[in-house]
Amino acid sequence: MALRRLGWSVAPPEGVKVNDRIVRMAQEQAGRAARSVKWRADLTAGVLMTWPADPAKRTADEWDQVRDAVPGGRFLPSGVIRSRTRQVSAFERRQGRLPVDIFELESPPSTARMLLLSACDGQQATIERHESDPGRALLRLQLPTRPDPRSYKDWTWVACPIVLPPTIPVSAVLHLPTLRIHSGRVRADLAYTHPVRKTQRTGHTIALGVDWGLNTLLSAGAVQLDGDKTITALGSGGMFRATGVLAKQHRLRRHFEHLQAKADQYQRLIKDDRQHGLTTRYQVLRDEIRRVCDKRSNLNDALARAAARWAVDQAIAAGATVIYVEDLRSMEALGMGRAHNTRMSQTVRGQLVNRMRHLAAEAGVAVVAVPAKNTSRHCPRCLVPLRHRKAPDTTTAGWKWAICSSCGYQGDRDAGAWQRIAARGLTHQTRTVVDRGSGAMIIRSVVDKFEARAVVTPASPEPSRKDRSKTGPTRPRATRPAPRRRRAPSPTRPQGPAGKRPEGHASTGRTRLPRAAHRHQSVMTISTLATGRHRSRGAALGAGFHLHAHATPPRWETRTPDTTWRTGSLN
């Protein structure tokens, strides 16, 4: 209706009769594209107005100027401004000048083939649940019986039965979906609402801290704020490793860059000659680039869903009411080169956080972004800078181990990072604000007074190992050589289909493990069974979707081992 007041109306072709609801759907879709173009146009105009002397490195004053020139630029991630600057720089290298506006910098946006039924009312479409089966719904809408309807007689009501997924609650209120065509079939993006517990900004006592990584995608653990204002860690946390998925993602990225460079070369050779001999090859390359982009999008979507579901499940298992994540929207590694920055910018952090907010809202858990400054650098127990070195097991590449020279703390640097993130969030929870643009909760800055209290106290004091004097009789040892968890020693390898159960989680029905199930594989690995004609390579039961995606089980309580089992009486 706002578009109609502005005079931005659309009309069907002459001789075609459509009702006003169809016109509203077209106007709504055009309005969404216009809003997106307006935002990009303002951003591009602000960047061009304050073009820096060195586009690769802005000074502090130039950053202030560009943020003042862009609407809402004070709260805009710097990565968005950098990406727009790189786009303008690429145009300048090709044309030898700066673009005039967004219309010269970008091509016209394409329109998706979909029906936005949410812009209609009951006279165009209705939806209701089945009376006896709550897992089914009936969508009724008016559709034309011919491509060019001449009158309202050419429109008729069509009933579309919809099978609802089990994730939709029975008490949820269904809304009109968006219909789109996918692989020759009509898909319905259904929206629904149901009451959930309201998330709070303050008053949290148990929090889940989430740390990002390149190979270990997520490291998470819970901490608790006690009544005496001390913070203790609940267990050792867990990790979500997606090395195989990320490796495939980077292979697809390199393949996309190779195809794009080849297509750009063909385009420079063809120019405006439509009869050029490379035109057919260029079109084949464009189709292949589109398929590679679809593969990357599907892979990122699957990875974001799995990681977000794991993080929210960790918070629910720990009884946490808030999840604190690092605010890495503007992170770039200085001095690491373009390839490393591109690798980090194309990760699924933003998509994962959005899915995490959606899943956490259903459970009444808040998701708050906290500043990431010095979360991996300082000790979680005394806030002294850590010394990083290689891991003691010598199997993990890189400097993954952290040692504190002040308090003696040592451990995985990701484990210390999630403790720092959770402790910082609990001490700064009174400074949590809601972003006006996105509606997300965020802590914008770190206060030294609160940061001094963001230390994690060990749950139990470590035993002293200095005094080794004997204080009692020696307990008798078991005469059997078998371990306590087993009455008989396990065989070293499977002896056949009918042999004894081998050690670990390997199946007795095979003599060789699948390629993806290496020594890091466990029963907690996320697995996706292939259905239909397509079956991912190595995606056997327990082998993980797209080769690898491993999740560590939660360990919120440290159990004390029973050292008196099968030791007999000491009397």
Q: Which CATH code of 3.30.1380, 3.30.420, 1.10.1760, 3.30.460 fits the domain covering 206-243+305-457? A: 3.30.420
Helix spans in 50-108 (H) = 60-69, 78-95, 102-105
Q: Percentage of the chain surpassing pLDDT 70?
A: 77
User: Measured between alpha carbons, how far is residue 242 from residues 208, 258, 351, 407, 472 in Å?
Assistant: 20, 24, 16, 33, 49
Question: 331 pLDDT band (50/70/90 cuts)?
Answer: low
Q: Please name which of 485, 458, 486 lies closest in space to residue 558, comparing C-alpha atoms.
A: 458
User: Measured between alpha carbons, how far is residue 556 from residues 84, 314, 456 in Å?
Assistant: 44, 9, 15
The helix or strand, by DSSP H or E, that contains position 345, with its residue range, turns out to be helix 338-345
Q: Helix, strand or coil for residue 91?
A: helix
For residue range 488-545, what is the model confidence (pLDDT) as tens digits?
A: 555 555 555 555 555 555 455 555 545 544 444 444 444 444 445 545 444 444 444 5
DSSP symbols for 151-202: SGGGEEEEEEEEEPPTTS-TTPEE---EEEEETTEEEEE--EE---PPP-SS
Domain boundaries, the chain: 2-105, 116-193, 206-243+305-457
Q: Please name which of 54, 84, 56, 57 lies closest in space to residue 69, comparing C-alpha atoms.
A: 84
pLDDT reported for residue 289: 93
Per-residue pLDDT averaged across 331-359, rounded? 72
Q: Is the dihedral of CA 194, 197, 199, 205 positive or negative?
A: negative
pLDDT reported for residue 368: 94
Q: Percentage of the chain surpassing pLDDT 90?
A: 25
- The two structure tokens encoding residue 339: 């390839």
DSSP 8-state symbol, 74: G
Give residue for tokens 């969404």: 32
Backbone phi and psi for residue 221, each to the nearest 5 degrees, phi listed first = -165, 160
pLDDT reported for residue 270: 85
For residue range 267-310, what is the model confidence (pLDDT) as tens digits?
A: 888 877 778 888 888 899 999 999 999 999 899 899 999 999 99
pLDDT reported for residue 394: 64
- The two structure tokens encoding residue 200: 């709070």
| Cα–Cα distance, 571 to 561 (Å, whole number) | 22
β-pairing, 216-225 with 231-241? antiparallel
Work out the mean pLDDT of the chain and round it to a whole number: 80
| Cα–Cα distance, 122 to 128 (Å, whole number) | 11
pTM of the model: 0.69
Per-residue pLDDT averaged across 150-160, rounded? 89
pLDDT reported for residue 206: 94
| Cα–Cα distance, 189 to 51 (Å, whole number) | 42
β-pairing, 366-370 with 441-442? parallel
| β-bridge mates for residue 324, sequence order | 209, 368
Residue 140 has pLDDT above 80, yes or no: yes
Q: Which fold has domain 116-193?
A: Immunoglobulin-like (2.60.40)
| Cα–Cα distance, 199 to 485 (Å, whole number) | 44
β-pairing, 433-434 with 441-442? antiparallel
The helix or strand, by DSSP H or E, that contains position 240, with its residue range, turns out to be strand 231-241
| Cα–Cα distance, 223 to 429 (Å, whole number) | 14
Q: Helix, strand or coil for residue 132?
A: coil
**Helices 60-69, 20-49: crossing angle, 10 deg rounding:** 150
Same fold, 116-193 and 206-243+305-457: no
Q: Helix, strand or coil for residue 238?
A: strand
| Cα–Cα distance, 392 to 401 (Å, whole number) | 8
Is 220 in contact with 401 (CB distance < 8 Å)? no
Q: Is the dihedral of CA 500, 503, 506, 510 positive or negative?
A: negative
β-pairing, 433-434 with 206-212? unpaired
Long-range contact pairs involving 274-283 (C-beta distance under 8 Å, separation at least 24): none
User: Position 275: which residue type?
Assistant: Q
In this structure, the dihedral spanned by the alpha carbons of residues 437, 45, 327 and 375, taken in order and rounded to 10 degrees, is -150
For residue range 23-69, what is the model confidence (pLDDT) as tens digits?
A: 888 888 888 888 888 999 999 999 999 999 888 888 989 999 999 99
| Cα–Cα distance, 528 to 505 (Å, whole number) | 18
Residues making up the chain, counted from first to last: 571
| Cα–Cα distance, 221 to 420 (Å, whole number) | 11
Is 372 in contact with 442 (CB distance < 8 Å)? no
User: Distance between terminal CA atoms of the chain?
Assistant: 89
User: Measured between alpha carbons, how far is residue 417 from residues 204, 237, 377, 386, 521 in Å?
Assistant: 20, 11, 8, 11, 25
pLDDT reported for residue 153: 87
Cα angle: 318, vertex 324, 327; to 5 degrees: 155
